[in-house]
A = this chain, B = another copy of it.
Amino acid sequence: MNKKVLYKGCLEPILLKLLHENGRMYGYEITRKVKELTVGELNITEGALYPLLHRLEADGVLEAEMENIGNRVRKYYSLTQNGRKEKVKAVSELENFAKTLQLLLNPKPSF
């Protein structure tokens, strides 16, 4: 498991990107998908995920629909129209961040 503090702020863009790619997902599914994509490196905690999902829904970035699976309830989330704009912005910020990190980790030699 990676040093967790480094991931601070990454959850939102990651979430929006996943929802963009998969159409709709529910919370638990998101935690599994992130773990799979990162080969076990990043485990999203419920204490971080659910409050974020609720906040993004309240902000009109996400919309939710409940679905009954047997006796259990799943809450599927998808991007709203505004959410798709937010996704572009958030992912672009994360990409920019990743590039800047590379500049620091592997500086271009100055001739």
Which residues of A line the B interface, CB within 8 A? 2-3, 5-10, 14, 17, 34, 37-39, 41-42, 91, 93-98, 100-105, 107
Contact = CB atoms under 8 A, between A and B. Distances in A.
Contact of A3 (B9, B39, B105): B9
Contacts of A7: 97
Contacts of A96: 2, 41
How many copies, total? 2
Interface of A, secondary structure class, is: helix
Nearest to A95: B105
Contact of A94 (B95, B97, B105): B105
Nearest to A98: B101
A68 B100 CA distance: 34
